[in-house]
Structure 1
Amino acid sequence: MFRSQRRDRSTLTRRRGFVVSASAAAALALATVVPLEAAKADTPQVSVETGVGMAHISWTAVDGAQRYEIERTLMNGSTPAGPGTIVGIWTPTRGGDNITQGPTVFADHGFVVGERYQWRVRPVIGGTPGDWSEPIVMSTPDHPGPSQYLTGHEMSDGVRYTTDAEEVELMTRIAADSPRVRLESLGTTYEGRPILAAVVGNPPGTPQQIAKNGSVLLAGNVHGTERSGREAGLTMLRRLAFSDEQWVTDLLSTTTVIIVPTQNPDGQANSQRSNISGQDLNRDHILLRHPEALGIAKVIRDYQPDIIVDAHENPGAGTDIQFLWPRSLAVESNLFTYNQMLVGRGSIYAKASEAGISPGQWGTHRVDNWETLLSNVSGLKNTVGLLVEVPWGATSAHPAEGVQGGPENLRRRTAAAYWAFETILDYHHENKATVKATKAGAAAYQSANTGPLYLDGAYPIPVSPPITDANTIMFQPYCGYRLSPEQYAARDGSDENATVSWKSAPVKDRLAAHGVVVENVGSGIVQVKLAQPLRGLIPFMLDPDLETSTVRPQGTPNIGMVDATRLDDRRSTVFVKGVSTGVPNRVGTDGCSVNDLIADEQAWPNKGQFVSHVNHVVNDLRGKGLLSNKEASAISKAVASGK
């Protein structure tokens, strides 16, 4: 089994106030374990395993216990440095979605790493605490990787977050010093900050090589005040860049890891959720109106990651961590089922419970364009997607955490996000072939342009009460969309009186950033056929019915890039300028009818260009066997003789 080598450490291990050798650090890490036969029958028998910023405390169950309390004590060698504190409350129902926790394990993740601690556990029966277990004393491992590349968050022992200047300097220095890292700029924010991605491999290949071999995208801080994923990403970057532990070398032998610690540099620097123009960037992953989302789209297009992880924080829902995955009905059904039942609510939930982390379901947003969340767009792009939510508020399971934003709170949030990143990387390493096959199946299904298309609605999630989003707009397969030259060049922009003035890239560039295949019809007119891998995504950008109350009867309607012409002409015969030619209006395997393709409703600059276009279309359809020579000739004559 592919497992983290959690205690692998550098030759010199940093500790508060002094430095010890690796051999001395190993000695310090030895736990003081009481022989099992010495424990009372009604006293838990405890063991501890340490991870990155976490201690996983496990114990034997005691009959009749309704809950367990976990105590942590800072140690000075073998002597307590002060009184112990109850840092954990374990109950069998502390998981979300009415999930009953299986093993008696609790993840303590809020302490200062590198320190030495004692842990004890006691049962609570009928409201009365029982006896404490015998203590386990252990030195916790320091931050993984060389200490000269620590983040500002780590150097402060979690008292503060890393500044934007520190982040850019650190990523630049790591890329310069490690042959495993290539630093790429995804663009520049409105305030001039770089949007950076670190591509980590051994060594990092070309985008084409990485798309073929497999990768995972770890993205954080799309909301500027939600920083735990950002800090976890920087820690993971350092570990992957420099460590020679088995976990790292095994991972990088098969997987490239793309890390975007901060999707929203301006929001992070200004401590605001949105970017500096006021845009919630997690509602811009379809329209790509702003440079931050545009850059992420290009990364996904170029590297085709197998799994996309988007790290967030929330006010707190009673669990240690929550997950969400693509739910739109436009996502291929097998990909949805795999993402939900095998990855999310299957493997990741199980691994969380085994680690003592209570998992839960993050609820979707029903009426605020939730389809454009990065986690959902991942599915629309035939990729496994996971939104990871860490509560920033203290939960009842962590009673000693203190105020929101305090050191223990910040450390717990970062450690939880890091655990999620590490666990998902493990999953990809162990299941890459299955992930890639599921992706390929979804892309093939969409390219065939079979099955209905949806502008709203969501797959159900098996929770109580169930989370459902009703479908109101569904179409049978049709050809695609046509855009005028003006639509193809259209840009969105800020209001006249906006504090921050901005203008988006043209529709042409935004479609290209997604990787949408566009065909030139002539005279600046283009068409987008649905028979391509991004079929599920395309209607959310171009359909003329998006901005209607029918699609969002209970809230804000979705908004598209432009109201393109939907190509769904199923009249029985081919028409030219309103007159039937008598030729059957056959539909090809791509879902396009003859009427869809000749574009006689389009405003052409002159008749000659329209005639040239139609002749090209009928010759192509004749070559494919969709038109006979006689039928092709009849259409060409009707076009030539028309006004």
Structure 2
Amino acid sequence: MRAWATRAVLAMALVAGVALAPTPAGGGRGGRVPTGFERRGGTAWTTPAEERDYLRDLVAAAPGPERAGWGAARVDVTRVGTSARGRALELITVAGARSVSEPVRVLFVCGQHGDEPAGREACLKLVRDLAADRSPAGRRLLERVTVLVLATPNPDGAAAGTRATAEGLDLNRDHVAVSSPEARAIRRVLREARPHIVHDLHEFTEPTGTAATPTLYLWPRNLNVAPELRSLAIELARDRIGTALPAAGWAAGVYGEDTTGRRLGGDGDERLLRNAAALDHAVAVLVEVGARPVSALERADPGLLGRRRVAAHLVAARATLRMAAERGDAITAAVRTSRERAARGAAAVYFDGADNVPAGRGAVAPMPCAYRLTPDRYPSARVALAEHGIRVEPDLRVETAQPAGAMAALLLDPRARFAVAAAIPEPCAGGSGIAGAS
């Protein structure tokens, strides 16, 4: 067994609080209600019915407004959409008494692919542990951070155990066109809640990065992302998550790089959530946990394998929350600066490339001042423009000097890889980019 795998087995319960044996149905540690996964010792995932009961019990156990002064967390569950098969998409909010003018809003998206269940389990446990934490440190965290959780963003896929939605769509390739109800629900949360940090949880079974590394992380690579947001995302991914995971016993590496750091791909695809969320002015990060056994013990014990996958996600999630609490001022300032700059208009738009792959020839252009849609092409773009919060003038002119201006270009420019309509670019005076943009 690899040394890190041995350490991980011993550290699992201490670092992430995941029980190493089945939990009795009567309650978890301290009387807290366990998930179905915990009750079965990690041998089977929490069912949709168990998730509904679990969240109902968490909301019922949370204090009402009359106890807000006690420092206990408030838990709310709000329906934000409906899947293609009619299942509810729910947003869980965990918040405490506010002690700062602008708490950092952290959104966890816990299972875009229905056959990657460990992220969902980690998020369900995280919500309960935050709500139940009465320690001074737990209280301080929720005074500074509001936690938003989409535990089951692909409920049809989760119920069927499939990667895709019921319509056969890869949800993590639908954050530009937002053609699925699930993607529209996520977009609505991004547009209305405006999270400062978006943490996207995934699993992998095939090699996707560093050989034999059970945990991987990555930041937004799209070249249209504001540099201050990318810098903070790299700090979160590499310095925080990439440090916390090895400290807990798991080797970690950059998604898309081999053991020498050689890149295996660009991954600047704007349809991916970490890129789309960053274009919507958030510090975004991807965490991938290996779903295959990494030791003889895990091959012999499916429960151990499941608990390791959940525990690794929990370690990464808590690293994200720590950075949110400690670097809140820098994060909120970077998000604000990014939005304000976009509202003035970007100087250029990139249609290809990534921060590790140069843009191809013709893939970068001066940002047009606007795009003009024709009446026959507007219907194909109408839903996506509205869901991204992009302002459309009565004459079907879309100015790029607005917070979602970069996404407007990626949706409408004929040169964009995933455009939903071919609009007519209107250059600025002199044929250059936005005048005065910086």
Q: TM-score range by the shorter chain?
A: 0.7 to 0.9
Give the deviation of 1:371 after TM superposition.
2.1
Q: Which amino acid in structure 2 is aligned with residue 169 of structure 1?
A: D
Q: Deviations over 1:445-494 (max 9, x none)?
A: 3223243211111002xxxxxxx35433111132121223443333xxxx
Higher RCO (CA 8 Å, separation ≥ 6 residues) = 2
Distance 2:422 2:389 in 1: 20
Deviation at 1:320, TM superposition (A): 2.9
Say which structure is richer in strand.
1
Match of residue 355, structure 2, among 444, 453, 459? 459
Of 225, 238, 249 in structure 2, the residue corresponding to residue 356 of structure 1 is 249
Distance in 1 between residues matched to 2:34 and 2:409, nearest whole Å: 45
Matched, 1:414 2:310: yes
Rounded to whole Å, the distance in 2 between the matches of 1:147 and 1:480 is: 58
Confirm whether residue 270 of structure 1 aligns to residue 160 of structure 2: yes
Determine whether 1:347 maps to 2:240.
yes
For the residues of structure 2 that align with 1:248 and 1:238, how far apart are their CA atoms? 12
Report how far residue 181 of structure 1 moved.
Answer: 1.3
Residue 419 of structure 2: aligned partner = 560
1:443 corresponding residue in structure 2? 339
CA distance, structure 1, for counterparts of residue 315 and residue 434 of structure 2: 49
Distance 1:511 1:258, change over 3 A: same
Q: TM (normalized to structure 2)?
A: 0.85
Q: Name the structure 1 match of 2:83.
A: 189
How far does residue 245 in structure 1 lie from its aligned partner after superposition?
2.3
The structure 1 segments of at least 4 consecutive aligned residues displaced by more than 6 Å after TM superposition are: none
Which residue matches 1:423? 319
Provide the secondary structure at the position in 2 that maps to 1:294. Answer: helix
Name the residue aligned to 1:5: none
Alpha-carbon offset, residue 407 of structure 1? 1.0
Whole-angstrom distance in 2 between the partners of 1:406 and 1:539: 47
What residue number does 1:401 align with? Answer: 298
Whether contact under 8 Å (1:283, 1:373) holds in the other structure is yes
Which one of 126, 151, 155 corresponds to residue 261 of structure 1? Answer: 151
| Bigger mean CA offset, 372-381 vs 512-521 | 512-521
Aligned to 1:163: 47
Q: 1:529 aligns with which of 399, 403, 425?
A: 399
2:35 maps to what in 1?
151
Contact 1:145 1:243 in 2 (8 A): no
- Residue pairs, 1:196-595, within 5 angstroms: 196-202=90-96, 212-315=102-205, 317-340=211-234, 342-363=235-256, 366=265, 370-395=269-294, 398-402=295-299, 406-460=302-356, 468=357, 470-472=359-361, 473-490=363-380, 507-521=381-395, 526-546=396-416, 558-568=417-427, 570=429, 589=435
- The residue identity in structure 2 corresponding to 1:540 is L
- Equivalent residue number for residue 62 of structure 2: 178
Between the aligned partners of 2:91 and 2:227, the Cα distance in structure 1 is 31
Indicate conservation of the 8 Å contact 1:88/1:108, yes or no. no
Report SS of the residue matched to 1:153: helix
Shift of 1:168: 2.2
Number of aligned residues? 408
Is the CA contact 1:228–1:413 (under 8 Å) kept in the aligned structure 2? Answer: yes
Which range is displaced more, 292-301 or 440-449?
A: 440-449
Please tell me the residue identity of whatever aligns with 2:254.
Q
1:115–1:186 distance in 2 versus 1, CA, 3 Å: closer
Provide the C-alpha distance between the structure 2 equivalents of 1:338 and 1:114, rounded to a whole number of angstroms. Answer: 33
Q: TM-score, normalised by structure 1?
A: 0.59
In structure 1, C-alpha distance between the alignment counterparts of 2:232 and 2:349, rounded to whole Å: 20
Amino acid at match of 2:335: K
Q: Say which SS state the counterpart of residue 230 (structure 2) adopts.
A: helix
Deviation at 1:107, TM superposition (A): 6.2
SS in 2 for 1:458: coil
Q: Distance in 1 between matches of 2:274 and 2:20?
A: 37
Could you say if the C-alpha distance between residues 302 and 590 of structure 1 is closer, same or farther in structure 2, counting changes exceeding 3 Å?
farther
The alpha carbon displacement at 1:437 in A equals: 1.6
Aligned twin of 1:123: none
User: Contact 2:244/2:316 (CA < 8 Å) preserved in 1?
Assistant: no
| CA distance in 1: counterparts of 2:106 and 2:227, whole angstroms | 22
Q: CA deviation at 1:217?
A: 0.4
* Structure 2 equivalent of residue 613 of structure 1: none
Q: Which is helix-richer, 1 or 2?
A: 2
Q: Which amino acid aligns with 1:568?
A: P
Structure 1 pair 269/231, CA: closer, same or farther in 2 (3 Å)? same
Deviations 1:113-168, CA, capped at 9 Å, x for gaps: 5569xxxxxxxxxxxxxxxxxxxxxxxxxx97654521110111111000112112
Look up the equivalent residue of 1:476 and give its one-letter code.
P
Letter in 2 for 1:535: G
3-state SS in 2 of match to 1:401: helix
Structure 1: how far apart are the matches of 2:29 and 2:377? 51
Query: Matched residue of 1:518: which SS?
Result: coil
CA shift in 2, pair 1:185/1:539, >3 Å: same
Q: Is the 8 A contact 2:83 2:155 kept in 1?
A: yes
Answer whether contact 1:225 1:268 (CA < 8 A) is retained.
yes
User: Per-residue CA shift, 1:377-416, capped at 9, x if unaligned?
Assistant: 1221121100000000123xx342116x811111100111
The alignment yields a C-alpha RMSD, in angstroms, of 3.0
Residues 73-152 of structure 1 mapped to structure 2, 5 A cutoff: 88-90=2-4, 108=10, 147-152=31-36
Q: Counterparts of 1:372 and 1:331 in 2: how far apart (Å)?
A: 13
Q: Tell me by how many angstroms 1:307 deviates.
A: 0.8
Task: From the superposition, tell whether residues 204 and 163 of structure 1 become closer, same or farther in structure 2 (CA, over 3 Å).
Answer: farther
Mean CA deviation greater in 156-165 or 442-451 = 442-451
SS in 2 for 1:354: helix
Cα offset, 1:221, TM superposition: 0.9
Equivalent residues of 1:447, 1:535 under 8 A apart: yes
Q: 1:175 to 1:469 in 2, by over 3 A?
A: farther
The CA deviation at 1:569 is 6.1
Match of 1:503 in 2: none
Distance 1:186 1:355, change over 3 A: same
Do the aligned partners of 2:175 and 2:273 also contact (CA within 8 Å) in 1?
Answer: yes
Unaligned 5+ segments in structure 1 are 1-86, 92-103, 117-142, 461-467, 491-506, 547-557, 573-585, 592-643
Distance in 2 (CA, whole Å) between partners of 1:436 and 1:413 is 31
Residue identity matched to 1:400: L
Q: How far is 1:304 from its partner?
A: 1.2
Going from structure 1 to structure 2, the CA distance change for 1:511 and 1:109 (only over 3 Å counts) comes to: farther
Larger Rg: 1
Superposed CA deviations along residues 196-228 of structure 1, whole A, max 9, x for unmatched, are 1101112699xxx99x43210011110001011
